[in-house]
Amino acid sequence: MTANSCVATQRRRSLWANETLDASPSRQSVGATNRIGRRQTMSALRGNAAAVVLALVLVGVSCVAADERPRTPRVAAVVTEYRHNSHADVIVSRLLQGYDLNGKGTFPKLELASLYTDQVPENDTSRRLAKEHGFPIHETVADALTLGTGELAVDGVLLIAEHGKYEKSPTGQTVYPKRRLFDEIVKVFEKSGRSVPVFCDKHLADNWEDAKHLYDTSRRLDFPLMAGSSIPVLWRRPAADVKRGTELREIVTTSYHTLDAYGFHGLEMLQCLVERRAGGETGVRSVECRTGDAVWTALEDGTVDRGLFDACLARIEKPRFKDFADLKRRVKEPVLFLVTYEDGLKASMVTLNGAIVSWTAAWRDEAGNRDSTLFWTQEERPYGHFTHLLVGVEAMMHSGKPTWPVERTLLTSGILDAALVSKLKGRPVATPYLDVRYETNWTWRQPLKPPRGRPFNQQ
């Protein structure tokens, strides 16, 4: 190693040396301390030839010590499309441009080794970024994982199958090719005789069979699999959570926009709260979807706790309605997901397009205690909530252990599928197959203040 390459190596590694992977993006580099020490040593020894030789030896030893530090994991990104503000952009671009997507501040301790894009739209940005940052774009998933060597050559995989032009399922979900891309990843694992951690953005699949396939395959090959939404890790106003071990009895949540893409986010919000109840997760007995006037009836006849629903509405920071009557007038097609858990817990998610653009939750326990909160997203560049999602992914890539349970997303993927089947068929769906039981030690922590926002069409 040359003296210049040694210094370069020290500078790169000082970005993350002596830091810990926690849930805060505000980690600051302290690696400059060692460089100052070396400069002071060289200055003190200047003019003494023997001492200079000794100093050079010490610098060499320092370089060897740096080489012994854990190296930055190199990851392959397998995405459906890569354009400005797509999920590929707001996740993968953070590896290139930092957490704030502006080339400044703190960067993830991950290196982008390669990229595969399933589709290339006219407004694709990946080719420009590849030229600017020097990463290769491969024609196949296998080449992206092997870097053309024929053997697995990366330390982790980001599977981001969100956005792109794909068909819709009979239930209205976009059929992203998650299973196909995942299976191509797995083929490389099997051929290489080893595997690495995989993060699957958002739900595991648009249907239960494929979602369960991803989960079962990861267990069969024994590799870390993590998935899910950014909603569980973002800001809450106020900073409320279900106390671990609570005898939870009912929870009501609100959502907005599309039932598949945004409905999934709402279910992840719901599940990250209820999984903390006494006994942990027990699985789901049945799921039902109601629409139109049947939603208002459910709120009026006690099917859904009206007090909890009102608590959800009270958390909305910029409501577009005056009262319940005005809400009914503005929301032309309300949608209600009713989820009954095996332990008797009742959960509801009400989608209120035309009146809200917020995710909120309210819950009550066995003793009648109630609490509520709003899950706040930064709806402008740099979409700071994705930083906290990526920090969790980053931790898994370093530790080899999922930061939060993939079973959460296995269950939410299944609940969403069942809810949309219920909507299509017009009746409740029994879900004995959603016998997903798990307990988790994962705990949400309030993130630091979000970065300054900027218009979505800017970098």
Same domain, 303 and 354: yes
Residue 60 has pLDDT above 50, yes or no: no
Q: For position 71, what pLDDT does the model report?
A: 86
- Final residue in a domain of this structure, among 196, 228, 260: 228
Phi first, then psi: what are they for 120, rounded to 5°? -130, 90
Same domain, 163 and 296: no
Mean pLDDT of 157-165: 97
Tell me whether residue 189 is in a domain: yes
Tell me whether residue 181 is in a domain: yes
Residue 200 has pLDDT above 50, yes or no: yes
Same domain, 136 and 282: no
Tell me the pLDDT band of 25, cut-offs 50, 70 and 90.
very low
pLDDT in tens, 97-113: 999 999 999 999 999 99
**DSSP-assigned beta bridge partners for residue 156:** 75
Mean pLDDT of 116-127: 98
Q: For position 459, what pLDDT does the model report?
A: 73
Mean pLDDT of 132-151: 97
Q: For position 67, what pLDDT does the model report?
A: 52
Same domain, 86 and 50: no
CATH number of 188's domain: 3.40.50.720
Domain count, the chain: 3
Same domain, 257 and 275: yes
Residue 27 has pLDDT above 60, yes or no: no
Same domain, 42 and 88: no
Same domain, 291 and 270: yes
Min mean pLDDT across 67-71, 288-292, 382-386 is at: 67-71
- pTM to 2 decimal places: 0.85
pLDDT in tens, 222-239: 999 999 999 999 999 999
Residue 45 has pLDDT above 60, yes or no: no
| Beta strand residue intervals within 315-410, DSSP E | 335-341, 346-351, 359-365, 370-376
Q: For position 62, what pLDDT does the model report?
A: 41
Q: Could you tell me which residue, 15 or 211, shows the higher pLDDT?
A: 211
Same domain, 348 and 415: yes
Q: How far apart are CA 266 and CA 269, in angstroms?
A: 5
Tell me whether residue 396 is in a domain: no
Of 264, 33, 270, 283, residue with least CA distance to 171: 264
- Final residue in a domain of this structure, among 34, 67, 100: 67
- Under 8 Å between Cβ of 383 and 279: no
Q: How far apart are CA 203 and CA 416, in angstroms?
A: 9
Same domain, 283 and 330: yes
Q: For position 314, what pLDDT does the model report?
A: 97
Tell me whether residue 193 is in a domain: yes
Range of the domain at 56: 3-67
Tell me whether residue 450 is in a domain: no
Q: What share of the chain is helix, strand, coil (3-state, %, to 5)?
A: 40, 20, 45
Q: How far apart are CA 246 and CA 25, in angstroms?
A: 30
Q: How far apart are CA 198 and CA 214, in angstroms?
A: 11
Output the six-digit token pair for 149: 């060597």
Percent of the chain with pLDDT over 70: 85
Tell me whether residue 197 is in a domain: yes
- Under 8 Å between Cβ of 79 and 92: yes
Q: How far apart are CA 353 and CA 195, in angstroms?
A: 43
pLDDT in tens, 183-198: 999 999 999 999 999 9
Tell me whether residue 448 is in a domain: no
Same domain, 86 and 221: yes
Same domain, 22 and 83: no
Arithmetic mean of pLDDT over the chain = 88
Same domain, 48 and 104: no
Q: For position 457, what pLDDT does the model report?
A: 82
Min mean pLDDT across 11-25, 165-179, 405-419, 441-455 is at: 11-25
Q: For position 68, what pLDDT does the model report?
A: 56
| Lookup result for tokens 């998610």 | 349
pLDDT in tens, 29-39: 323 333 333 33
- Final residue in a domain of this structure, among 67, 86, 117: 67
Give the three-state DSSP class for 108.
Answer: coil
- Under 8 Å between Cβ of 256 and 330: no
- Pure H helices in 277-384: 293-300, 306-315, 324-330
Q: For position 427, what pLDDT does the model report?
A: 98
Residue 14 has pLDDT above 90, yes or no: no
CATH number of 352's domain: 3.30.360
Tell me whether residue 222 is in a domain: yes
Phi first, then psi: what are they for 132, rounded to 5°? -70, -35
- Under 8 Å between Cβ of 359 and 266: yes
Which secondary structure element, helix H or strand E, spans residue 200, and what is its range?
Answer: strand 198-201
